[in-house]
Amino acid sequence: MENRWQVAISAGLLAAIWCGIADTFHLVTWIGFLGCSTFFAQPKAGFQGVMMAWCTNLSGVFWAWLIISGSSFFVSPVAGYLFTGIATSAMCLQASYQKFSFIPGAFIGCCITFAMAGDVANIVPPLVLGALLGFCMSLLTAQLISLRQKWSASTGSEIASAD
């Protein structure tokens, strides 16, 4: 990986900034990192990638909320099993729509919602900001790569690669 240092610098710097922001505003840090990971794992670049991360993650939050809410009306745990099966099928079927086509993003949002016991108010803000964090990391990495290339061109030398 030729640009390892640029990736490391931007990821490390922005991860530290995210931790500070999350702590200051009482956001769940790890949820933001899962939103960020979704941005990098899905196939789209730029703001389209942010939109796909948002659509898939937030749809997963919705499906988990539906499972939790729907099964709470029934005494038997079988209702929860059925709701889970239906929601799982729906998360796969929604991939027919381009913005929802990254199925793992839906499952990430769903798992976060289960881990947070359905506390949607504390899930959505860091999840949304996490995708933006990934976008900012990709922008900063691109800028650092560009600066390195300009520096190499102006000095007539290439920075030694540790690869």
Kindly report the pTM of this predicted structure: 0.89
Residue 137 is predicted with a pLDDT of 97
Residue 77 is predicted with a pLDDT of 93
Residue 69 is predicted with a pLDDT of 94
Tell me the H-state helices in the chain: 4-24, 29-41, 46-71, 77-93, 103-115, 120-155
Domain residue extents for the chain: 10-147
Answer whether 13's CB lies under 8 Å from 108's CB.
Answer: no
Answer whether 47's CB lies under 8 Å from 99's CB.
Answer: no
**Each residue's pLDDT tens digit, 78-95:** 999 999 999 999 999 999
Radius of gyration of the CA atoms of the chain, in A: 19
* pLDDT averaged per 10 residues, the chain (length 163): 88 98 98 98 96 98 96 93 96 97 98 98 99 98 91 71 51
Residue 158 is predicted with a pLDDT of 60
